[in-house]
Amino acid sequence: MASDEPKAKKLKLSENEKTESPSKKAAAELSSNSLFGMGNPLLDICAVVDKDFLDKYTLKPNDQILAEDKHKALFDELVKKFKVEYHAGGATQNSIKIAQWMIQEPHKVGTFFGCIGKDKFGEILKQKAEEAHVDAQYYEQDQEPTGTCAACITGDNRSLVANLAAANCYEKEKHLDLEENWELVEKAKVYYIAGFFLTVSLESILKVAKHASEKNKLFCMNLSAPFICQFFKDNLMQVMPYIDVLFGNESEAATFAKEQDFETKDIKEIAKKAQALPKVNTKRKRIVVFTQGKDETIMAHSDKIETFPVLKIDPKDIVDTNGAGDAFVGGFLSGLVQEKPLDQCVRAAHYSANVIIRRSGCTFPEKPDFK
């Protein structure tokens, strides 16, 4: 697929990187476990349902909610009553999966940690991660069932009901700290954690973030949702000094700016101010990437702000915008881990998002058509 984006000159990953043209510098040799992600694994259960089903569980046709007690029976009924498709989901896992898809070979470039239950849905999640060629090393416990997200499809609408369950039960001491697991963390050179995990295990995030900073590796994070910037800002700001690449969309950026008293609503200014926040590893200047849906993507890097137009798409070709943000990050990470120039990382990100919004759920064809 041809890109509409202008050919930007090479953007440097760090202040002291030698400037070589992309044609002279081949993509870095990749080994397994080069990219590490940690987050909330959810099994997406997708089905086309009828209005009666939505009404029974008081669901709106196009909404995202957390499951309440009244939704407990929904998941089993969905499986029994309708033809369902299962997909390995959750924000971070989606991004790692997309990055692996963009890279293709070798398999298991992406590692993923998260907590699941010892149950049928957990087994399906393991199988789906394997099919995506991601090295998913789950912490399995039997206190809570595997987290799920029901995607109830009616026409062009998707009503999402998430039940975090086991995803909330991740324990650093019982998983991340184990020698064989920490070895996988140490193998990575790029790290990504969505902001949602700030509600689960701040200590796990900090351990990984500090390791990346000490070893001059890339630690990436996503603002993920306005409520994270608002209600978990203390946790977020504990991690901020270690963040090398910060992702977010325009609504998350606006809430972040408000909570940080930036006194501006201008997205470019917000990106600059976020970039200027204190940072532990001074060998790398922070990169801030804000998406704005169909509008241009904004990136603050080095001492400048650059904008990148997204790929054009006919509105009638948009099937489902859910997962577009995860796909954008996945494409960007696929470039970062191959040490590609930043403009190429953005191009890969736009391509991935463009593919995902043409399909239902965070799914993709067998191979990317990306050069």
pLDDT score recorded for residue 366 = 86
Looking at residues 108-126, what average pLDDT do you find? 96
Q: 3-class DSSP state for residue 352?
A: helix
Residue 297 — φ and ψ, nearest 5°? -85, 140
Q: Is the CB of residue 188 less than 8 Å from the CB of residue 36?
A: yes
3-state secondary structure of 128: helix
List, for residues 45-92, the tens digit of each pLDDT value: 989 999 999 999 999 887 777 788 999 899 999 999 999 988 888 999
Spatial neighbors of 149 by CB under 8 A, at least 6 apart, are 42, 43, 44, 45, 89, 90, 160, 161, 162, 163
Query: How far out from the chain centre does Cα 41 lie?
Result: 11
Please give the average per-residue pLDDT across 16-35, as a whole number.
58
Question: Which residues face 326 on adjacent strands?
Answer: none
Residue 63 forms part of a structural domain: no
pLDDT for residue 329: 98
| Predicted confidence (pLDDT) at residue 16 exceeds the cutoff of 50 | no
CA 265/CA 263 separation, integer angstroms: 7
% of the chain at pLDDT higher than 90: 74
Tell me which of 44, 244, 326, 343 is the catalytic residue.
326
Confidence of residue 25 (pLDDT cuts 50, 70, 90): very low
- Predicted confidence (pLDDT) at residue 93 exceeds the cutoff of 60: yes
Does 60 fall in a domain?
no
pLDDT of res. 318:
83
Q: Using CA atoms, how far apart are residues 219 and 208, in angstroms rounded to an integer?
A: 8
Position 146 scores a pLDDT of 95
The CB density around residue 311, as the number of other CB atoms within 10 Å, is: 16
What is the average pLDDT value for the chain, to the nearest integer? 90
Q: What is the pLDDT of residue 8?
A: 40
Looking at residue 360, what is its pLDDT?
A: 73
366 within domain boundaries? no
Mean pLDDT on 205-209:
98
Per-residue pLDDT, averaged over 169-174, amounts to 97
Domain for residue 171, yes or no? yes
Cβ proximity of 260 and 273 under 8 Å: yes
CB atoms within 10 A of CB 359: 14
Q: Is 140 part of any domain?
A: yes
Pairing of strands 35-38, 190-194: parallel
Which residue, among 42, 360, 37, has the nearest Cα to 222 in the 3D structure? 37
- Of the pLDDT bands very low, low, confident and very high (cuts 50, 70, 90), residue 28 is low
The average pLDDT across 312-341 equals 91
Whether residue 368 is contained in a domain is answered as no
The closest alpha carbon to 145, from 172, 125, 131, 159, belongs to 125
Q: Report how many domains make up the chain.
A: 1
Would you give the DSSP letter of residue 106?
Answer: S
Give the single-character DSSP code of 27: P
Contact 71, 45 (CB under 8 A): no
Confidence band of 6 (pLDDT split at 50, 70, 90): very low
Structural domain boundaries, residue 191: 35-41+89-146+164-357
Tell me the three state secondary structure of residue 282. Answer: coil
Report the chain's terminal Cα–Cα distance, integer Å.
8
Tokens 């970039």 locate to: 275
pLDDT for 237 beyond 80: yes
- How confident is the model at residue 7, as a pLDDT? 37
Residue 192: which CATH number?
Answer: 3.40.1190.20
Please state the rounded mean pLDDT for residues 298-306.
95
- Residue 247: inside a domain, yes or no? yes
Could you give the CA distance from residue 295 to residue 2 in angstroms, rounded to a whole number?
18
Least confident of 30-39, 139-148, 309-318: 309-318
- List, in sequence order, every residue forming a beta bridge with 65; answer none if it has no partner: 161
- Residue 53: inside a domain: no
Mean pLDDT across 115-136: 94
Distance, in Å, from the CA atom of 307 to the CA atom of 289, rounded to the nearest integer, reads: 10
Model's pTM, two decimal places?
0.87
Q: Which of 16-25, 131-140, 147-156, 308-317 has the lowest mean pLDDT?
A: 16-25
Contacts 24+ apart (CB under 8 A), 278-283: 278/240, 278/241, 279/241, 279/242, 279/243, 280/213, 280/241, 280/242, 281/213, 281/216, 281/242, 281/244, 283/14, 283/15, 283/16, 283/216
Q: Is 326 a catalytic residue?
A: yes
Please give the pLDDT value at position 73: 93
16 in helix, strand or coil? coil
Q: From residue 54, how far is each of 76, 78, 107 by CA, in Å? A: 14, 11, 39
